Structure 1
Amino acid sequence: MKILKHLPHLFIFIVCFNLSLTSCSKEDTPPTPEPEQEIPTEEEKEGPVVLKNEVNDFIWLGLNEVYLWQNEVPYLADNKFSNTDDYYAFLNTYDSPENLFESLLYQRGEVDRFSFLVNDYIALENSFQGTTLSNGLDFGLVRIGNTNDVLGYVRYVANGSDSSTKDIKRGEFFMTVDSQQLTVSNYYDLLFGNNSSYTLGMATISNSQIELTNKNVTLTKTNFTENPIHINKVIELNGTKVGYLMYNSFIANFDSELNNSIAELKSQGITELVLDLRYNPGGRVSSALALCSMITGQFENDIIITEQWNPKYQTYFEQVDPDFLINRFPNALTDGSPITSLNLNKVYVLTTGGSASASELILNGLDPYIDVVQIGANTAGKYTASITLYDAPDFSRGNANPNHTYAMQPLVYKSSNINGVSDYDNGLAPDHIITYQTNSGVSYEGENIQNLGVLGEDTDPFLAKALSLISGTTTKSYEKLKAIKGIQVEHIAESNDFKPLGKGMYTTLKTK
């Protein structure tokens, strides 16, 4: 029976390869299914049981080895199967790898919301580098009233993308794709399907009524690498120089550019920083750790986060290499380049429910050290980490089974800051909640899709609030923006949810 029981074997792998902290962000995940049929008894068997799908074997072995809740799932117990026949018979009761994977997760949708399986690890690996099949349009989707109709609203247009060459911008709305009304049942196929291009039917909202316009915008998907540094500028505020950095993903390929952006802000003499992570779903953890040092600089080698694995791995790491479980403030990038630091004692961070994983690491990790002023809405609530596992004896990419391209991202540990803060399932709550009212007088938290404003300008209510706090006065601009009425909406998805990594982060760990 091919069941790995040697912890050092996988330990060598995970310290030499990539650890990925990711989420699939699907709130409508089906409940954990039971096995699809009874396992046959010894009497019912006719000779040795033949494994029908080798991917199923890979899934069970990987989850049994390193899954965070392995000890909580009966079918993943080390002693669950007495022989290979019983083991293969169990695996054969599932007609697809996806069904098996879902059945072995712990309280799917309640406790484990973020483990996932992919059948194309090439696309997953490309996403680690920030490259996805995309037209560069970042948007949110909301349900219209009590209907099943869906309205899209543009959050930003990625620099250098196909969308940046078209007549479409932040704050605009769309209702149709290729002349079909978006609904809760078709939006995935229309926007995230195999179509390489589509035409959006644009819309307007007037007096709480949504109507199509005569404007149509055709967008084309390409293999696009988005620069996560969307805006980097200095704002002059009554003699105070405020740095504004909109950073939309933690991607290691852009660490040097991020460091240069911080150096540019520092050279211009900023004394305050507004870090906009509203639409940042996560990314490489080493980039997040580096950004923590860029913001500060005075806490070199202090602990940012610690890790807690499943019982057998936690015990192993504590005995063999306790420092493996600790992530500290670095003084250099992973390529050895020195980090430029602002040495700030306060940072203003803009957040929404789209702020996840590595974005939350920034908030939670810095909080014990400096004044982190969070503005906006609750974050996504992801403090768990997943590792990329391939179908290989050591689960490495180099030895991956050539017969298929399945890989999985099971959750393997949860993180906490130096004060032990973790388990923020409902997200990290802001110090200053951004709200708006509808015409009926009901108040809602988060972005008013009818009043998004211009990113990097004081017409953006989130940035206007930060500038108001920095200046110490309630600006007329912010009061005017807050007074703009909105409509009641139910957020159902955002474009980041359907990228291969979703809301997640990944990192290369220390090597031995």
Structure 2
Amino acid sequence: MLMSRFFKFHLLVLWFLCSGSIISCNREDDSVPDFPEGSVESVNVWIQDNMKRYYYWAGQMPSKPDYHLPSQKFFASLLSQNDRFSSIVNTEDSSTYLRTVRNMYGFDYAVLQLGNGQVTAVVKLVLQNSPAQNAGLYRGMIIKKINGSLVTAANAEILVNSIPDKTTLDLTVGDWENGNITNEKDITVYYGFSFDQPVLSKVFEQNGKKTGYLYIYDFPDGMSHTLNQKFSEFKAQGVQELVLDLRYNYGGSVASAAALCSLIPSGVSSGSLFIAYKGNKNGGEVKKTFAEQIAYDSNALGFNVLHVNTLNLNRVFILTSGSTASASEIVVNNLKPYLQVIQVGGTTLGKDMAGFPIVDERKPRKISWEIHPVIYKVYNADGEGEYSNGISPQNPVNEYASLPLKQLGESDETLLKSVLNKIYLKSVQETPDNAVKVILESERPFFRGKH
């Protein structure tokens, strides 16, 4: 299920050097008091020991933390001010997991201020087989009220922050027609699971030139089989250009991201460098080729199998937004040494970090907390990285420039249309930032320490 997997990797989605989890390290610091086993203090010592060993900013951790704090607050007290992504969850306490509109109900929305000053909330994403889809929501629909409150610029933040405390959402929704909301109706969305999302592919053709389009929601392990099938179809149809839609992709398995990257450019071999990881003094620097990184997913097709369906392109278009994060940002950055990457849309989130989960593997397990620390910074084959402020597009395009929003993959959808125009008409449509302003977007993909 998408929700359980989302909890598994939405915090630190780049699994590296670890097919399982990390057992706690032995403590050598005699200055730390011995606390009774099972106490909050003993759990906090375990957290500190592991953070000292793996945490990217271990050198910035306080030397004398307060061991008497609740574990989630203790963990937060260890974090660097530069850290936006490390987190901790108690696997026996669901309240410690991130609760958002997307992972609770299966959709996301944006509150916009239009050019005429009008404020409106628009549904931007609806997951397939989700509570939201089952309730009748679809991309482009307007949300007028949330739990009886009219959505305004003043209360937008309050409303989105109130959603995690509820198990049902009562929405007044409608369609956008010529600046007005029509077909208003009330619907209820119930908290529930959203299942795995399919990869959407299409081929567009004009004047004999074929362009492949691939919408990828996330990068789960085992994805190489689906990608291989999609690229086999693209190759059979003679696709000459490729558009990757990663605008809502929070990330996932870096092995799956590497598999995708191996299928696009020419001149890549199994020994070509894909990624470099740089950690603290304990982690050092580790470099991985395409073949090595793909192989970290034990269910993945090998590089040589995938390479049969490589499109051998010299450029790729990638659609991005502030929800493009982590492994999907690696796709953007780590393809650049091998072909021209033309990024269209918005600036990415800026998660240039990687890590793996740390749990207590004693049997029986004595500590139920699971640590997700930032462990590495990531770089491409040319040593380029350091994009904590996000990766900016060469062609900025406002996804919300024209309402109603078109469905993803439709040729007249704003971001895709701008790329197809560049491919077929040799021009790209740029939208002014002041046309439509984003007041708030509902997604909260990552949280720092305690959400």
Q: Same fold (TM over 0.5)?
A: yes
1:280 aligns with 2:249: yes
After superposition, the CA RMSD in angstroms is: 3.7
Secondary structure, counterpart of 1:200 in structure 2:
strand
| Equivalent residue number for residue 442 of structure 1 | none
Question: What count of residue pairs does the alignment treat as equivalent?
Answer: 404
Task: Please point out which of 213, 228, 232 is paired with 1:263.
Answer: 232
Is contact 1:135-1:222 (8 Å) kept?
yes
Among 326, 343, 346, the residue aligned to 1:357 = 326
CA distance 1:404–1:50, shift in 2 (3 Å)? closer
Amino acid at match of 1:421: E
Deviation at 1:65, TM superposition (A): 1.4
Q: TM-score, normalised by structure 2?
A: 0.78
Counterpart position of 2:192: 222
Percent of paired sites with the same residue: 28
Q: Which residue of 1 aligns with 2:162?
A: 189
Q: Map 1:271-310 to 2 at 5 A.
A: 271-296=240-265, 298-300=267-269, 301-310=271-280
Question: Match for residue 356 of structure 2?
Answer: 387
Whether the 8 Å contact between 1:174 and 1:203 is mirrored in structure 2 is yes
Counterparts of 1:68-217 in structure 2, within 5 Å, are 68-75=56-63, 90-92=66-68, 94=69, 96-107=70-81, 111-120=82-91, 134-137=104-107, 139-142=108-111, 152-181=121-150, 183=155, 184-190=157-163, 192-195=164-167, 197-202=168-173, 214-217=184-187
Q: Secondary structure at the match of 1:330?
A: helix
Residues 384, 413 of structure 1: 8 Å contact kept: yes
Higher mean C-alpha displacement, 331-340 vs 411-420: 331-340
**Counterpart of 1:327?**
288
Tell me, yes or no, if the aligned pair for 1:63 and 1:70 is still in contact at 8 Å: yes
Instruction: For residues 430-489 of structure 1, give each alpha carbon's deviation from its aligned partner in whole angstroms, at most 9, with x where no partner exists.
Output: 111114xxxxxxxxxx533735323212211211111111124348xx69xx69995433
- Gap change, CA 1:144 and 1:257, over 3 Å in 2: same
CA distance in 2, matches of 1:465, 1:251: 29
**Does the aligned pair in 2 maintain the 1:282–1:358 contact within 8 Å?**
yes
- Cα distance in 2, alignment partners of residues 352 and 484 from structure 1: 14
Counterpart of 2:311 in structure 1: which amino acid? L
Q: Deviation digits for residues 67-103 of structure 1, max 9, x if unmatched? A: 101112242xxxx6xxxxxx8xx412x2x11211111
Partners of 2:319 and 2:210 in 1: CA distance: 18
Q: Deviations over 1:272-291 (max 9, x none)?
A: 10001111111111000110
Partners of 2:146 and 2:368 lie apart in 1 by 31
How has the CA–CA distance of structure 1 residues 406 and 284 changed in structure 2, closer, same or farther, with 3 Å as cutoff? Answer: same
Amino acid at match of 2:396: I
1:67 maps onto 2:55 in alignment: yes
User: Which residue is 1:433 aligned to?
Assistant: 396
1:306-317 paired onto structure 2 within 5 Å: 306-314=276-284
Say if 2:265 and 2:313, in contact at 8 Å, map to a contact too: yes
Q: Which residue of 2 aligns with 1:469?
A: 422
SS class of match (1:307): strand
User: What is the match of residue 57 of structure 1?
Assistant: 45
Question: Hey, what's the Cα distance between the residues in 2 that align with 1:412 and 1:167?
Answer: 41
5+ residue gaps, structure 1, are: 1-12, 21-41, 81-86, 319-324, 393-397, 436-445, 503-512
371 and 154 in structure 1: CA distance in 2 versus 1, 3 angstrom threshold: same
CA gap of 1:49–1:134, structure 2 versus 1, over 3 A, is: closer
2:376 matched residue in structure 1: 413
Q: Which amino acid aligns with 1:427?
A: G
Counterpart residue identity of residue 44, structure 2: N
Aligned equivalents of 2:445, 2:409: Cα separation in 1: 21
Displacement of 1:365 in angstroms is 0.4
1:493 aligns with 2:446: no
* Alpha-carbon distance in 1 for matches of 2:253, 2:336: 20
Q: Distance in 1 between matches of 2:266 and 2:259?
A: 10
Q: Secondary structure at the match of 1:462?
A: helix
C-alpha displacement at 1:19, in angstroms?
A: 7.7
Task: Give the secondary structure class of the aligned counterpart of 1:222.
Answer: coil
Q: CA deviation at 1:225?
A: 2.0
Between the aligned partners of 2:173 and 2:148, the Cα distance in structure 1 is 10
What is the one-letter code of the residue matched to 1:265? Answer: F
Shift in Å, 1:175: 3.6
Distance 1:143 1:348, change over 3 A: closer
Counterparts of 2:267 and 2:347 in 1: how far apart (Å)? Answer: 28
Structure 2 CA distance for partners of 1:151 and 1:403, relative to 1, 3 Å: farther
The one-letter amino acid of 2:280's match is N
Shift of 1:200: 1.5
Q: Secondary structure at the match of 1:91?
A: coil
Rounded to whole Å, the distance in 2 between the matches of 1:257 and 1:284 is 14
Please tell me whether the aligned partners of residues 60 and 80 of structure 2 are also in contact (alpha carbons under 8 angstroms).
yes
- State the one-letter code of the partner of 1:98: Q
CA distances 1:273-320 after superposition (whole Å, capped 9, x unpaired):
000111111111100011010112631221121011102331xxx6xx
- 2:93 and 2:310 map into 1 onto residues whose CA distance is 35
Q: Which has the larger radius of gyration?
A: 1
Distance 1:358 1:228, change over 3 A: farther
Q: Is the 8 A contact 2:231 2:310 kept in 1?
A: yes
CA-to-aligned-CA distance 1:391-432 (integer Å, 9 cap, x gap): x2xxxxx43764553211111110111222111121111111
Q: How does 1:342-353 map to 2 (within 5 A)?
A: 342-353=311-322
